[in-house]
Structure 1
Amino acid sequence: MMSQLADLLLSPDDMAAVDRAAAASGIDSYGLMEKAGQAVAASALRHFPEALRYVVLCGPGNNGGDGYVAALALQQSGAVMRLFYLGDPKKLKGDAARAFADCPVVGETMARYSPRPGDIVIDAIFGAGLSRSVPDEVAAVIAEITEARLPVIAVDLPSGLDGRSGQVLGTAFRAVRTVTFMTRKPGHLLMPGRDLCGVLEVFDIGIPARIVRAQANGMIAENTPAQWQADLPTAATDTHKYKRGHLVVFSGGATVTGAARMSAMAGLKAGAGLVTIASPEQALAVNAGLLTAIMLRVVDDETALRAWLADQRLSTFVLGPGFGAGEKARQFVLALSERHLVLDADGITSFRDDPQRLFDAFADGPTRLVLTPHEGEFARLFPDIAADNTLSKVEKARAAAARAHAAIIYKGADSVIAAPDGRALINANAPSWLATAGSGDVLAGIIGGLMTQGAPAFEAAAAGVWLHGVAGQRAAKGLTAEDLVAHVTPF
């Protein structure tokens, strides 16, 4: 059965703590291993009934123990199977040793395995129990199986994949299916781990939810509506446009106005009551000729902006899309330090030489700043964090959010949204075709539209990323940013 805890994400260390807590509570740990291995065998038989033989590769730890249980279950089902092991199985300890002793299948050393057409490989070598590059013997087997294009079912995680970061430790299997237990790990969602896991099954082996949730602490999860829906504003029957907030998007010069218009329209479609593009005089005619529901105002310099800010109804701003990097962007951002701001693209790059100046401006009070960096922009604002290869993408985003006192969207195929208090969400609903020019401008506008209605910065950022993914799914392959805007809808 599928686990009801599959929304949670636990690191390998946290999951090991769950196992220990379960054993300490009196739960039969070997019984849990039996359920895990049997779930793997059941998945193999269910999804690959055409296999000419099932090949189980067992490692030197508990992941190997799951493999021995799976091998026994496959043999008892009458399937043709072979077993190969890494190291000396007689040196196994604990439950893994018992699983080996209970398995009557005679195995051979892993080096003796020769792939055959029709093999279905069950990878029970390392799972989440690996923190270094795979040994040469395993790397050679992975290479042979990959070259033979054999289907691989991974137990817990494809061997060679780091469950904390989703990164490959030297080399790794590319599984067609991965069977994990109780809940997922960050490496199941972070790239390239998500691609290497194939179809993911989360199987409930009987550890009480209270034990699992005690270790999860709710700080890391997949980005889904369950994480932020309750914090989004809902429209009352007596609402009007002013109650839904006034969003301002800054335009660049006459030849670079399109990004701001797409961002502004996304904010309007996300629910903002009013949206104004703040345009330099030189771009006024271009913007005026292409706007209908969106208002327009001339804002040429910092003086004009500060005068306009006397209107307290201007609650949320988007700066960056097509704006241009430089001193003007810095002046505008610092003038907005008391308001809610989504800073994107050129706005981020403008602070590459002095990011602390940006962080200091938004350091006090509730989180008002949302930063949306891609890989390169993240490195410009947080060079030391970006360069630390010991950190996962989640850990980098969390460290950046704490330093900047901002909600961080560390963009990519596996965008991570982090809050200054340590909460982090990994987004998994974005289709690959969202990687197109102008897509980020639309995202910034959606987030601004949610914030101007009263959504907190982190929740607006997370909801914006999710809604952006939904819009991409609706627009389908071949979308342009204009198509994407047309498919933006509020939650």
Structure 2
Amino acid sequence: MTELLTAAQMRAIEQAAIDSGEVTGLELMERAGQGVVEAIFEEWPELTKEREASPSRTPGYLQPEEEDLRRGVVLCGPGNNGGDGFVVARLLKEHGWEVEVFLYGDPDKLPPDAKVNYERWCETDCVRKLADMDENDFWPFRGAVFVDAVFGTGFRGKLPFEALGAYGFILDESTTTYASRFLAIDMPSGLRTEDGCTEGCVIPSGLTVTFHRMKLGHYLGSGAEACGKIVTKDIGIPKGSPRPRVGVKPPPGGGDGGCPALPDAKDIVRLVRPRFAAKNWNDNKYSHGHALVLSGGAGKTGAARLAARGALRIGAGLVTVGSPRSAMAENASHLTAIMLQQIDGAHGVSELLEDKRFNAVCLGPGLGRGADTQALVLSVLKEKRATVLDADALTRFELNPEALFEVLHENCVLTPHGGEFAKLFPDLAEKLNVLATTGPAYSKVDATREAAKRAGCVVLFKGPDTVIAAPDGRCSVNSAHYERSAPWLATAGSGDVLAGFITGLLARGFTAMQAAETAAYLHVECALEFGPGLIAEDLPEQLPAVFRRLMS
């Protein structure tokens, strides 16, 4: 897993490295600038060579696509991010580039290391004031590489008026057929590092170069949209540096939950492979667990069947749909490998769960919001089975969430989307909507961790930036961004399939946190496997191909 850092954590890591005497701030800044230049040449290899003018035309008459492309515009800010920008400008000029540098702020107030690199640049060229530039002033630089080194990870508030000229130009250029190349150092200016949110404008980037570790804001909120593409460069932080949890308040679960993690394919395979190994030749369907999915009444049965199909495909040995009498014929006409059992009310589910082979239960999809739903939820939770609560099973408790929290246990998973989260945790949702002008922003990670602590179980807060947290503070981000972007996953019923995936993995013996993380990752992989045109019914059917690809 890759750890995702906040700005405070990254500052603590850098300062610890400097304090150790193994590296200086100037050396880190120089390495950061070198990393940015490397990223430019890696992303746009055509910029490594100068284009020659046609013999019949002088450079002044060349069209943009015919000009020497080795031109850079570096926008520097008042902090160390600006210092990185001065290094980039100097290195590009050493490569033979034409470079213009603009500064937002007072050069006399630059931090010491940034001031050194400002002065190094001034020895060879001038620095122009960003405040003097409006949108039209940037048009002569059309086609150049623009480097945003204005604010980086330290941004708070709104993008200042003095930077709006660059913002307007870059926004217009990014929509043209011959767009300039835009690169941000660490974070696009205007984007908050802790939560990926903004109060106003963000200077959009096609490529964002960050250092040592990726940051939370690259994956939360609108971060991915603003960042374009992420490249992480090593700046030689000594291996003995403190863990990146330094400088951060403990998670609400108590103890030390550490940094949120970004799971990758290796993490998922490590969990899945042992349970699907060919050497498990003594297994039978009962050793793979028996999942129960409760269905709604007539006309509201599709969601439960989607969840049941997901549970079966992901590996549960048996899956039963528990259906009220009114929906038995409707469910029976659609089910084959999935079994069907009539269950009428809370007493009926209690009787069925006397069979201890039912080891995982999913309820909520299509269940309805009547009083009988609340009774079913409480009845299931009383039996202490691994349980997934989704949709109606959550919103039914919006008037009294504490009635639910009192009976939840550590082997439960709640899977709210934003609206359902706000109904169960209205105070946390309100904190998420408050704009942070000072100090760290309250992020989706913070909210999910607090929710998990309060509920006493795993909470999976859905979205393109799905956040999963356990009561002890452990947390991960399942991102459907960048190379894993799957916007077609936003389709009716996909959340029901996700609930089924989690339930099936719980039946197979995964812990609640393992089941939630693995299911969320595979959910995105199934969407990527199918591609555009996806509907929820397609998701479970992609699992065999996904498993083959991941475990090959």
What pairs up with 1:445-484 in 2 under 5 angstroms? Answer: 445-484=500-539
Query: 2:93 — aligned with what?
Result: 75
Query: 2:171 — aligned with what?
Result: 146
Where 1:115 maps in the other structure, the secondary structure is helix
What pairs up with 1:112-127 in 2 under 5 angstroms? Answer: 112-113=132-133, 114-116=137-139, 117-127=142-152
| 1:403-439, Cα deviation, whole Å (9 max, x unpaired) | 1112111111111111111111111245110000110
Query: 1:196 — aligned with what?
Result: 226
In structure 1, give the amino acid aligned to 2:488: W
What pairs up with 1:252-401 in 2 under 5 angstroms? Answer: 252-337=296-381, 338-363=384-409, 367-388=410-431, 389=434, 390-401=441-452
CA RMSD of aligned residues (A): 1.7
Query: 2:111 — aligned with what?
Result: 93
**Residue 129 of structure 1, aligned match among 154, 172, 176:** 154
1:175 aligns with 2:213: no
In structure 2, give the amino acid aligned to 1:359: F
Contact 1:219–1:422 at 8 Å: present in 2 too?
A: no
Where 2:32 maps in the other structure, the secondary structure is helix
Contact 2:167–2:202 at 8 Å: present in 1 too?
A: yes
Count of equivalent residues: 483
In structure 2, C-alpha distance between the alignment counterparts of 1:223 and 1:329, rounded to whole Å: 34
**Residue 477 of structure 2, aligned match among 405, 414, 426:** 426
In structure 1, C-alpha distance between the alignment counterparts of 2:43 and 2:414, rounded to whole Å: 43
Q: Which moved more, 1:413-422 or 1:56-65?
A: 413-422
In structure 2, give the amino acid aligned to 1:397: T
Query: 1:56 — aligned with what?
Result: 74
Q: Cα offset for 1:42?
A: 2.8
Where 2:286 maps in the other structure, the secondary structure is coil
Query: 1:28 — aligned with what?
Result: 24
In structure 2, C-alpha distance between the alignment counterparts of 1:227 and 1:397, rounded to whole Å: 21
In structure 2, C-alpha distance between the alignment counterparts of 1:430 and 1:271, rounded to whole Å: 26
In structure 1, C-alpha distance between the alignment counterparts of 2:534 and 2:394, rounded to whole Å: 26
Where 1:361 maps in the other structure, the secondary structure is coil
TM-score (ref. length: structure 2)? 0.84
In structure 2, give the amino acid aligned to 1:260: A
| 1:99-144, Cα deviation, whole Å (9 max, x unpaired) | 1122233111013342122122100000001122222112342123
| 1:47-79, Cα deviation, whole Å (9 max, x unpaired) | 341635200011011000000000100111101
Contact 2:489–2:527 at 8 Å: present in 1 too?
A: yes
In structure 2, C-alpha distance between the alignment counterparts of 1:418 and 1:158, rounded to whole Å: 27
In structure 2, give the amino acid aligned to 1:82: E
In structure 1, give the amino acid aligned to 2:527: G
In structure 2, C-alpha distance between the alignment counterparts of 1:43 and 1:190, rounded to whole Å: 23
1:107 aligns with 2:127: yes
TM-score (ref. length: structure 1)? 0.95
Q: Cα offset for 1:230?
A: 4.5
Return structure 1 stretches of 4+ with deviation > 4 angstroms: 225-233
In structure 2, C-alpha distance between the alignment counterparts of 1:82 and 1:219, rounded to whole Å: 38
| 1:268-322, Cα deviation, whole Å (9 max, x unpaired) | 0100010000001111111112111111100011111111121111111110111
Give 5+ residue unaligned stretches, structure 1: 1-5
In structure 2, C-alpha distance between the alignment counterparts of 1:188 and 1:97, rounded to whole Å: 28
In structure 1, C-alpha distance between the alignment counterparts of 2:229 and 2:184, rounded to whole Å: 10
Query: 2:237 — aligned with what?
Result: 207
Q: Cα offset for 1:229?
A: 5.1
| 1:448-489, Cα deviation, whole Å (9 max, x unpaired) | 000011101011001000010011111110111111121134
In structure 2, give the amino acid aligned to 1:166: G
Identity of aligned residues (%): 41
Q: Cα offset for 1:209?
A: 3.2
Query: 2:261 — aligned with what?
Result: 221
Contact 2:258–2:473 at 8 Å: present in 1 too?
A: no
Q: Cα offset for 1:91?
A: 2.3
| 1:385-409, Cα deviation, whole Å (9 max, x unpaired) | 0010252111111111111112111
Where 1:311 maps in the other structure, the secondary structure is coil
In structure 1, give the amino acid aligned to 2:203: F
Contact 1:111–1:141 at 8 Å: present in 2 too?
A: no
In structure 2, C-alpha distance between the alignment counterparts of 1:226 and 1:385, rounded to whole Å: 33
Where 1:242 maps in the other structure, the secondary structure is helix
Where 2:451 maps in the other structure, the secondary structure is helix
